[in-house]
Amino acid sequence: MTAKPLLEVRDLRVGFRTGGAETPILHGLDFAVNPGEIFAIVGESGSGKSVTAMSLMGLLPRASARIDAGRALFEGEDLLHLPPERLRAIRGSRIGMIFQEPMTSLNPVLSIGRQMTEAPVAHGRASRRDAARLAVEMLERVGIPEPARRPRQFPHEFSGGMRQRVMIAMAMMMRPSLLIADEPTTALDVTVQAQILGLMRDLVRETGTSMILITHDMGVVAEMADRVMVMRHGRIVEAADTASLFARPTQPYTRDLLAAVPRIDGDTPAPGPARKTAPPVLRLDTITKSFGGARPALAAVSLQIAPGEILGLVGESGSGKSTLGRAAARLTEVDGGTVTLEGRDITRLRGSRLREVRAGVQMIFQDPYSSLDPRLRIGRTIAEPLAIHAGLRGRLARARTGELLAQVGLDPEMADRFPHEFSGGQRQRIAIARALAAKPRLIIADEPTSALDVSVQAQVLDLLGRLSVERELAFLFISHDLSVVRKMARRVAVMRAGRLLEIGPTAEVLGDPRHAYTRALIAAAPIPDPAQRDRLTRAAPPGEYPDGPLRQVGQDHWVAA
């Protein structure tokens, strides 16, 4: 593009003070954003992508952060060296911003209308009355039903997706020439994400607003961006237009990053040896569970897992997938139905009998930071199941702990360290080692890689897949991410609102989905391939789906009618 850029950043350097020393976070960034384009900044955690946005807005934490050098020319003014009052006049009116957490980004004690109108009024752009009228128009534009009565409502009366729409409406109130969106859809379910992304793209196109989109998700980049800048450790790895970056990445880091992203149109694991005859390691029969809400968390869910099989379980938030996993491990008591582990009904077991059978099924959790007792050396954490079930202590336990650490790819010498000395990926490996220590036949993995960077995720997924094959270990692999499930599981189950909607071989369910909800999930999943970008469905999915009893539509393939 030859037009003068809207925003031109030169040699941006930012440091954070921790204790006495200053750690550089951004090491001199140069980039430009052109009028009307969507410019994505993508990177893993610690890349400095959010810090970049915050420094442009003057929103860095005052106490600890310092801009050491650089210029950021925006419509002729240097954002980094403006007096605070001038910068404040630009914020909100000429640069709008949308944040990641819709649940906490709105003030809970002020009405939506109040929060939407206060900025135009404060900037002297509109009278209170005009701003109120504009607010209703904007709410309608972002697709909120009954916009006229919404301004009187409070944030807690809106769902997460609706709140993010309100945030977008609020940011666009004054038609800013630049919109900065920091992980705007990361906290949202995938079907909601698709709608919000579509909305943002339409809005900026319609108004000619430029957008800086900050994200960790290559799929989102491919769906949205005109140009991409890849960041790592506070430096630019490479920047290019989206199509050529995905087609011909020049840097090895970009190539690795793209290769690590699981794809919903990718490969499924090759079919293993048929084990039809073996009795299932886990059988759930018409499990029901209610937490006292209007609808049950689980409504008569049945499924089984064969020895050594990985069953993927996908669903959005509130689908009951985690509750199902916990019920299978007897961490949540069920209201009805039976849990059968290796042919033994464990639904009503208590006390020491229950503790004995617990060794057979272990769990891996999502959050690597709270998965390990912070006060125990990791060797002791891993040895806990050994002490409980095998009575192993002392040197024997130590030797076995070392073996387990080696199996998950860690140095056995690390057994004497505390959890805070490890990274997220390493902690997740430790949690896997602990699960293996009990010699289970089944592991319930509840979003085991959702908190990890994509490159770390790929390694952990490989480890889990390898363990499953080597030890004939079965997995219930719970995830919100169809692409990850596709990579891991030969069979997949889809849940929504406490009910099982579709279950069958992964290739078949994802290749030829028979349930409307499965189709909606697949359609909403972003694909890291700019060539397929207009595939995303924008239409709000129906609120109701068929959720009756399952009927068979193919070999091992069942769908709710």
Partner 1 sequence: MPSNASPTPDTAANSAANTSAPVRRIARRPFWLRVLGTVNGAIGGAIVFVLILSAALAGWIAPYPPAKMAVGGRFGLPQAAHPLGTDEFGRDLFSRIVFGSRLTLTIGAIAVGISLIAGLAVGLTAAYRRGWVETVLMRSSDVLFSFTETLIALACVAVLGPSLQNAMIAVGIAGIPFYARTCHSAALVEVSKPYFEASVAAGAGHARLVFVHLLPNVFPTMVVVATLGVSSAILAAAGLSFLGLGAQPPDPEWGLMLSGAAHYLNRAPWLMVVPGLSIAVTVLGFNLLGDAIRSAMDPRRQG
Partner 2 sequence: MGLLTIFATTVAVTLLIHLVPGDPVQIMYAQSQGTTPEQLEAIRHSLGLDQPIVFQYLHFLGRLLHGDLGYTIRGHQAVLDVVLQRLPNTIALAVTALAIAVAIGLPMGFAAAYWQGSLLDAGLMILSIGGIAIPSFWLGLMLMLFFAVDLGWLPVSGTGPLNILLPAFTLGLSNAAIVARMTRSSMIDVMSQDFVRTAEAKGLPRSTILVHHVLRAGLVPVVTMLGLQFAFMMGGAVVVENIFAWNGVGRMAVDAIFQRDYPLIQGFILSFTVVVVFVSILLDTVYALIDPRIRRS
Tell me the C-alpha distance between 126 and 173, whole Å. Answer: 10
Q: Which of 461, 35, 489, 464 is nearest to 260 (CA)?
A: 461
Among partner 2, partner 1, none, residue 481 binds (CB under 5-8 Å by kind): partner 1
Report the site for partner 1 in 206-235 (rule: CB under 8 A). Answer: 216
370 binds, among partner 1, partner 2, none (CB under 5 to 8 A by kind): partner 1
User: Minimum Å distance from CB 49 to partner 2?
Assistant: 17
Question: What residues from 384 to 403 belong to the interface with partner 1 (CB under 8 A)?
Answer: 384-385, 388-389
Q: Which of 317, 406, 539, 561 binds partner 1 (CB under 8 A)?
A: 317
Q: Is 532 in the site for partner 1 (CB under 8 A)?
A: no
- 3 state SS of 250: coil
Phi, psi of 126 (to 5 degrees): -155, 155
* Site membership for partner 1, residue 291 (CB under 8 A): yes
Name residues contacting partner 1, limited to 170-199 (CB under 8 A): 183, 186-189
Three-class secondary structure of residue 47 per DSSP: coil
Both tokens of 115, joined, read: 């929060």
One DSSP character per residue, 304-359 reads EE-TT-EEEEE--TTSSHHHHHHHHTTSS--SEEEEEETTEE-TT--HHHHHHHHT
**From CA 308, how far away is CA 282, in angstroms rounded?**
11
Task: Please identify which residue in 329, 463, 497, 525 interacts with partner 1, judged by CB under 8 A.
Answer: 329
Is 109 near partner 2 (CB under 8 A)? yes
Choose from partner 2, partner 1, none: what does 401 bind? Cβ within 5-8 Å by kind: none
How many Cβ atoms are within 10 Å of 478's Cβ, its own excluded? 27
Rg of the chain on CA atoms, in Å: 26
Candidate ranges 73-81, 98-106, 449-457, 494-502; the one touching partner 2 (CB under 8 A): 98-106
Closest CB to partner 1 among residues 126, 192: 192
Which neighbouring-strand residues pair with 502? 494, 559
Distance CA 344, CA 283 (A): 9
Beta carbon nearer to partner 1, 147 or 160: 160
Nearer to partner 1, 45 or 244 (CB): 45
Restricted to residues 53-92, the positions that interact with partner 2 (CB under 8 A) are 57, 59, 63, 88-92
Residue 139 or 524 having the CB closest to partner 1: 524
Residue (234 or 541) nearer to partner 1, CB: 234
Residue of the chain from 93, 195, 479, 518 that contacts partner 1 (CB under 8 A): 479
CA 55 from chain center: how many Å? Answer: 25
> Residue 361: in which H helix or E strand, if any?
strand 361-364
- The secondary structure of residue 369, as a DSSP letter, is T
Which of positions 425-454 make contact with partner 1 (CB under 8 A)? Answer: 425-426, 431, 434-435, 437-438, 447, 450-453
Interacting residues with partner 2 (CB under 8 A): 57, 59, 63, 88-93, 96-97, 99, 101, 104-111, 118-119, 122-123, 154, 156-157, 167, 170
